[in-house]
Amino acid sequence: MMAFRTLAGGYLDLLLGKGEMEFSYRDRLKLLGGVAVLAGLHATGVLPAMDVIGAALAQDAKKTLRVTIVPEPPSLNTAFNTAIMVQQISTKMLDGLLAYDKNFEPMPALATEWKVADDGLSITFKLRSGVKWHDGAPFTSADVKYSFEEILKKHHPRGRATFANVAEVEAPDPLTAVIKFSKPSPYVMAALSASESPILPKHLYEGGDPTANKLNNAPIGTGPYKFVEWQRGSYIKLGRNPDYWGKGKSEVESMIVRFIPDAGARAVAFETGELDIGGTDPIALADLDRIKALPNLAVTTDGYAMCGAMYYFEFNMRDPQFKDVRVRQAIAHAINREFVAKNVWFGYGSAATGPISQKLTKFYTADVPKYPFDPKKAEALLDAAGFPRKAGGVRFKITHDPSTYSEQYRRFGEYFKQAMRAIGIDVDLQSTDAATFQKRIWTDNVYQTSSYGIFNLPDPTIGVQRMYWSKNIRKGVPYSNGSGYASPEMDALLEAGQNEVDIAKRREIFNRMQVLAMTDLSIIPIINVDYTTVYNKRVKGFTEDLEGVFGTYANVALA
C-alpha cells in the first residue's frame, strides 16, 4: 500500500508540477496517455516481486502429481481443523498411529504393533523405529504422549469427545506408548488414522499456544511429503520426503495442489490434462457423465467409507405438529428416496434405510422398520393424526432449512417442497448461508424441519450417537442432537455401546439402536452419499486403502 501511494504521489507531483507551465489542454491529454503507458510498465515491473519459487527446479511431468482440493483449506493441519479439505492435505505430511484396510481393520503406520488390553482399559503401541521428523529430529513416544494429551484431547474439534476417557498416555520407553482409559472406549481404535488423529512433533509445539503455531500452515511431520510452499489463492507445493519410513514406494517427486474455485473451470483443467486427481466432488455431478466418457479420465466413489457420508432429514421435536409419530411416518412415506438418489444425486448415492451408513459394514443393519414411498398411506396417516386437508387442500404449513454446503442439498429442498405439496403440506423453504443455517438449527432451534449432510465417521459412537443422545442436546454445537429427541431407552443403548469391548455384543447393541431410531423417527435418513473422485488414468495406487484422497498418497505412481 505504501509503495502504491508513493507511486501515485510521484505521478501526481509530476502532473501538478508541470501544470505550472503553459500547457494546452491537448498536450495534457498526450501527457496523460504517456503516464498511462508508464504506469503499465510499472505494473509489469511489480511482477518479479511475486516470484518466490525462483529456486525450484522444473519438474518432469511424470514425477509431479497435480491435485486439486475444493475449496482451498484455511490451514494445513487437521489436528486443529477437521474440515474435509484440510484432511486431504494434512495427511500427506502428518502421519497417524494407524492406517485401515478396506474392512476397517487397523494396519501399521507409525505404530507397528498394538494390543488392546482384555479389560479395554489400555492400548499398548509399539512404535516404528528410525522414523524422523521432516526437520531430522527422531520420532519417539514422547511425541505420541504430547499429541494425545496436549493437542488431540484439548484442541482437536472432535477430540474432546473422542478421547474423553483417555486418562493419560504413558511412554515407558522411546518406542512404546500406552493409552490409558478411565472407561473402556473401543471406538478409539477406529479414530487413529492420519486424517483423524495426526501425531505432531512435540519439540516444535511445546511451550507455545499450539493453535497459533506457524507450523499449522507449514506442517513438519513424518509423512511421505514435505511442505515446500503455499501461494495462497493459487497452489500448495509439497516435495517428496526422502527419509520416509515407507521407503521406495512413492515415485512421485513432488505434488502440486491447485485451487480452482469454479467447478466448470476445474472440469476444463481435468480435460486439458492440467489436473491429475481431485476428491470430494471436484466437478458438478451433472457434468460427470461427460467426463467419464473422455478416454483419459475416470471417476470413482471408492475411498470414502471412513466418512460414512449420509444425508439426514430432521424434525424439530419441540414443534407440537411433530409430536405424533404418525406425522413423522407420513412424511417419511412421502419422500421418494430412490428418486432423490437418482435425480438429485445423479446416482452418486443410494436410498438410506437407517441412521448408520451402509458403508460402515461392521455396524449397518437393513433389518429395521421401513417407510417405502407411498403417498396414499402418508395421507391416511395424516388424516388419522388429526390433520385433514383444509381449504385449498393444505393440511398445515412448515418451514424447511436445507444445508448450504452443496448444490444437491438445495435441490433436495426443492424436491421436498414438491413432495410435501402432494400430500397437502405447504413447505416454506429457507435460503441461508452456512453460518445462518447452523445458528437456526443448533443455536436458536427456530427451524421446523431441516436436512443436512453428516459424516458417520468410522464408528457410530463417534459419528451417529451425537444425533440421538439426549445428553448431546447442546445449544450452539453444530451436528449435535438438534432435534431435541430424548429417549431413555435410546440413551441406555448408546451408553452401553460406548463401553462394550466385545465386538459381537456391541454390534447387537447398535442393531437395536438402529431399530429404535427408525421407530421413533426423529430423523429420516435420506441418502447414503457417494462422494466422487475424478482422476486421470495415469494415476495409480490411490484406492488401495480405505482412505482414498484422505490417504497419504505414499503408494501413488504416475504412468
Partner 1 sequence: MMKRYLVRRAGQALVVLVLIACVNFLILSLAPGDLVDVLAGESGAGDPHYLQALREQYGLDKPLYSQLLQYLTNLVQLNLGFSFRFNLPVRDLILMRLPATLLLMFSSLAIALLGGIVFGVAAARAPRSLRDSLISTAAMLAYSTPLFWAGLMLIILFSVKLGVLPSGGMRTVDGPKDMWGIVVDVTRHLVLPSITLALFYMATYTRLMRASMLEIYNMDFVRTAKAKGLTSRDVAYRHVVPNSILPLISLFGVQLGSVLGGSVVVEVVFGWPGLGLLAFDALFQRDINLLMGILFLSSVMVILVNFAIDMLYSWLDPRIEVGA
Please identify, among the stretches 47-55, 333-341, 370-378, 414-422, the one whose residues bind partner 1 according to the rule CB under 8 A: 47-55
With binding defined as CB under 8 A, does residue 228 bind partner 1?
no
Q: Which of residues 116-175 bind partner 1 (CB under 8 A)?
A: 155, 157-158, 160-161
Site string (341-380) toward partner 1, x via CB under 8 A: ----------------------------------------
With binding defined as CB under 8 A, does residue 176 bind partner 1?
no
Contacts 24+ apart (CB under 8 A), 163-166: 163/188
Task: Check if the beta carbon of residue 184 is closer than 8 Å to that of residue 198.
Answer: no
With binding defined as CB under 8 A, does residue 32 bind partner 1?
yes
Helix, strand and coil in the chain, % to nearest 5: 40, 20, 45
Count of residues that bind partner 1 according to CB under 8 A: 92
Site string (431-470) toward partner 1, x via CB under 8 A: -xxxxxxxxx--x----------xx-x--------x----
With binding defined as CB under 8 A, does residue 20 bind partner 1?
no
Site string (52-91) toward partner 1, x via CB under 8 A: -xx-xxxx----x-x----xx-xx-----xxxx-------
Please identify, among the stretches 208-216, 319-327, 368-376, 414-422, the one whose residues bind partner 1 according to the rule CB under 8 A: 208-216
Nearest to 365 by CA among 506, 186, 520: 506
Among 141, 216, 316, 321, binds partner 1 (CB under 8 A): 216
Helix (H, G, I), strand (E, B) or coil at 64: strand
Would you give the DSSP letter of residue 387? -
Q: Which is nearer to partner 1, 129 or 182 (CB)?
A: 182
Residue 120, number of CB atoms within 10 A of its CB: 19
Task: Give the shortest CB-443-to-partner 1 separation in angstroms.
Answer: 7
* Cell of residue 85, nine digits: 479439505
Q: For 433, list phi and psi in degrees, rounded to 5.
A: -110, 175
Task: Give the shortest CB-478-to-partner 1 separation in angstroms.
Answer: 4
* Cell of residue 495, nine digits: 451408553
Please identify, among the stretches 276-284, 410-418, 477-485, 525-533, the one whose residues bind partner 1 according to the rule CB under 8 A: 477-485
Q: Which is nearer to partner 1, 481 or 511 (CB)?
A: 481
* Cell of residue 16, nine digits: 501538478
From CA 210, how far away is CA 227, in angstroms rounded? 18
Helix (H, G, I), strand (E, B) or coil at 161: helix
Please identify, among the stretches 42-50, 129-137, 169-177, 486-494, the one whose residues bind partner 1 according to the rule CB under 8 A: 42-50
Nearest to 239 by CA among 214, 259, 220, 213: 220
Nearest to 439 by CA among 403, 406, 470, 410: 403
* Alpha carbon separation from 271 to 31, 175, 261, 265, 274 (Å, rounded): 47, 47, 16, 10, 8
Residue 504, number of CB atoms within 10 A of its CB: 8
Q: Which is nearer to partner 1, 193 or 216 (CB)?
A: 216
Task: Give the shortest CB-394-to-partner 1 separation in angstroms.
Answer: 29
Task: Give the shortest CB-77-to-partner 1 separation in angstroms.
Answer: 9
Which residues on neighbouring strands pair with residue 115, listed in sequence order? 124
Nearest to 455 by CA among 83, 49, 61, 17: 83
Task: Give the shortest CB-497-to-partner 1 separation in angstroms.
Answer: 16
Among 232, 290, 323, 390, binds partner 1 (CB under 8 A): 232
> With 0-12 CB in 10 A as exposed, 13-18 as middle and 19+ as buried, what is 307?
buried
Among 231, 296, 343, 431, binds partner 1 (CB under 8 A): 231
Among 13, 28, 135, 247, binds partner 1 (CB under 8 A): 28
From CA 504, how far away is CA 500, in angstroms rounded? 9
Nearest to 457 by CA among 477, 438, 479: 479
Q: Which is nearer to partner 1, 132 or 158 (CB)?
A: 158
From CA 542, how far away is CA 535, in angstroms rounded? 10
From CA 247, how far away is CA 132, in angstroms rounded? 12
Task: Check if the beta carbon of residue 129 is closer than 8 Å to that of residue 188.
Answer: no
Task: Give the shortest CB-40-to-partner 1 separation in angstroms.
Answer: 7
Q: Which is nearer to partner 1, 260 or 554 (CB)?
A: 260
Among 168, 251, 253, 274, binds partner 1 (CB under 8 A): 274
With binding defined as CB under 8 A, does residue 12 bind partner 1?
yes
Sign of CA dihedral 352, 417, 473, 168: positive
Among 10, 19, 208, 347, binds partner 1 (CB under 8 A): 19
Q: Which is nearer to partner 1, 18 or 397 (CB)?
A: 18
Q: Which is nearer to partner 1, 141 or 162 (CB)?
A: 162
Q: Which is nearer to partner 1, 46 or 422 (CB)?
A: 46
Helix (H, G, I), strand (E, B) or coil at 385: coil
With binding defined as CB under 8 A, does residue 92 bind partner 1?
no
Among 101, 471, 476, 505, binds partner 1 (CB under 8 A): 476
With binding defined as CB under 8 A, does residue 262 bind partner 1?
yes
Three-state secondary structure string covering 93-143: HCCCCEEECCCCCEEECCEEEEEECCCCCEEEEEECCCCECCCCCECCHHH
From CA 337, how far away is CA 528, in angstroms rounded? 10
Among 116, 117, 268, 473, binds partner 1 (CB under 8 A): 268
Q: Which is nearer to partner 1, 9 or 138 (CB)?
A: 9
Among 233, 242, 295, 488, binds partner 1 (CB under 8 A): 233
Q: Which is nearer to partner 1, 149 or 374 (CB)?
A: 149
Residue that is written with C-alpha cell 490417504 in the block: 551
* Cell of residue 224, nine digits: 511421505
Among 22, 51, 118, 119, binds partner 1 (CB under 8 A): 51
Q: Which of residues 387-406 bind partner 1 (CB under 8 A)?
A: 405
Among 370, 390, 471, 474, binds partner 1 (CB under 8 A): 474
From CA 228, how far away is CA 230, in angstroms rounded? 7
